[in-house]
Structure 1
Amino acid sequence: MRIPPYYRRPAWQRFFAGMVIGGAISWCIFLYIFGVWQEDHTALIEKQKEEIVDLKNEKKIWQEEYKEINKRTIEQLTIQKINIKITNWEKYKLDLLSVSEIEDSVKDDISMMIAKDIDTVYKSKELIKKIIQNKPIKIHDKRYKLQVKEMVIFTTLSIQLEISFEE
């Protein structure tokens, strides 16, 4: 087997030379386009890195502010709701309607504590006790008084009362 004698024919020589020159030119074009794309992508990656660093710094600042605001908010919590519960109403054979009316009356008396911050309510807990205990209650022609047994102060002001005959 032998190689055909294409090297003697100028048409074939031009064809092969054109292929080599075309291959070299296309390789140069490929390298140029690939280099331009690489530069564009590298610039984009650098821009994104800078953006990520800026966003991380901004996120850190927001988190610090959020923590500070939460700290201040916890320090300044307010009373949202008042719960009044009379514990020994069965002892005096009171009906549920009367108990509910007494609870509502006490709740109305201390309703000014709603939306006050917890520190203020805590400082005025003695005043709340006196407001409740100094109020005479009249049910079925009998006079009762209330005694504060337990007071829990948080976002909900919970007070447990005991009722007794007024002396």
Structure 2
Amino acid sequence: MHIPPYYKKSSFQRFLVGAFTGAVVAYFIFVYMHGNMYGELLQENRDLKSEVRELKQQNDALLEDNQNLDEKAKEPVKVETIDITIVNEEDLPDKLIIHDLEELMKEEINHIIGKDLSIIAESDGLLEATIENKVFSIDDFEFQFTIEKLYLTPTVKISVEANIAE
């Protein structure tokens, strides 16, 4: 079998040169596109790794903060301050003694500051009886108080009504 000598024809030679040139150009285009795409993927991969690292650090910080909050939540809530309000202060004979009466009541129950709030809540009747059964004397006047509202929070809030004792 005989293969015809196409390599001698100029049209066939131009075809081969064109195919070779096209293959070289296509190869360079392929390399350029592949390199460009691969570079973008590497950049995206770096960005995602950086984001994952930041999120892990944030997660670790939040978990540590959560553990600190859990430890604080296990600690009992303590009484921090006492706030006493006299409801009927306009009925008192002298407006200057209101502050003194509040201070006397605070002195009477200041032992609850720093105590566990659950213990104080269990003995709220004792706290009420301490204030209501005591007669407070200022300037020739004696006062007794009845508790209208008692809020047991870290700041114990007590609203009392003052009555002149006879």
Offset at residue 120 of structure 1 (A): 2.8
The match for 1:83 is 83
Change in Cα spacing, 1:114 to 1:44, as seen in structure 2 (3 Å) is: farther
Residue 90 of structure 1: how far off its partner (Å): 3.5
1:102 aligns with 2:101: yes
After superposition, what is the alpha-carbon deviation per residue over 1:72-102, rounded to whole angstroms, capped at 9, x for unaligned? 74995444442211223443x4222201111
Using a 3 Å threshold, how does the CA distance of structure 1 residues 151 and 75 change in structure 2: closer, same or farther?
Answer: farther
Aligned twin of 2:147:
148
Helix, strand or coil for the counterpart of 1:95?
coil
Instruction: Report the equivalent of 1:113.
Output: 112
Counterpart Cα distance in 1 of 2:96 and 2:136: 14
**Is the Cα–Cα contact under 8 Å of residues 104 and 136 in structure 2 kept in the other structure?**
no
Deviation at 1:59, TM superposition (A): 4.1
Partner residue, 1:55: 55
For residues 18-57 of structure 1, the aligned pairs below 5 Å read 21=21, 25-46=24-45, 48=48, 52=52, 55=55
Query: What's the TM-score, normalizing by structure 2?
Result: 0.61
Paired residues in the alignment total: 150
Deviations 1:39-58 (A, max 9, x none): 243344456179549938x7
Q: Secondary structure at the match of 1:38?
A: helix
Cα distance in 1 between the residues matched to 2:111 and 2:29: 81
Q: Specify every segment of 5 or more residues in structure 1 that has no aligned partner in the other structure, as ranges.
A: 1-12
The CA distance in 1 between the partners of 2:160 and 2:85, in whole Å, is 6
Paired residue type of 2:159: Q
Identical counterparts, % of pairs? 22
TM-score by length of structure 1 reads: 0.61
Q: What does residue 127 of structure 1 align with?
A: 126
Letter in 1 for 2:82: I
CA–CA distance in structure 1, aligned partners of residues 34 and 135 of structure 2: 93
Q: Which runs of 5 or more structure 2 residues have no equivalent in the other structure?
A: 1-13
For 1:40 and 1:80, locate their aligned partners in 2 and report how far apart those are by CA, in whole Å.
61
- Once residues 77 and 54 of structure 1 are traced to their aligned partners in structure 2, the CA distance between those partners, rounded to angstroms, is 35
Match of residue 156 from structure 2:
157
- Distance in 2 (CA, whole Å) between partners of 1:77 and 1:33 is 68
SS of the equivalent of 1:96 reads: coil
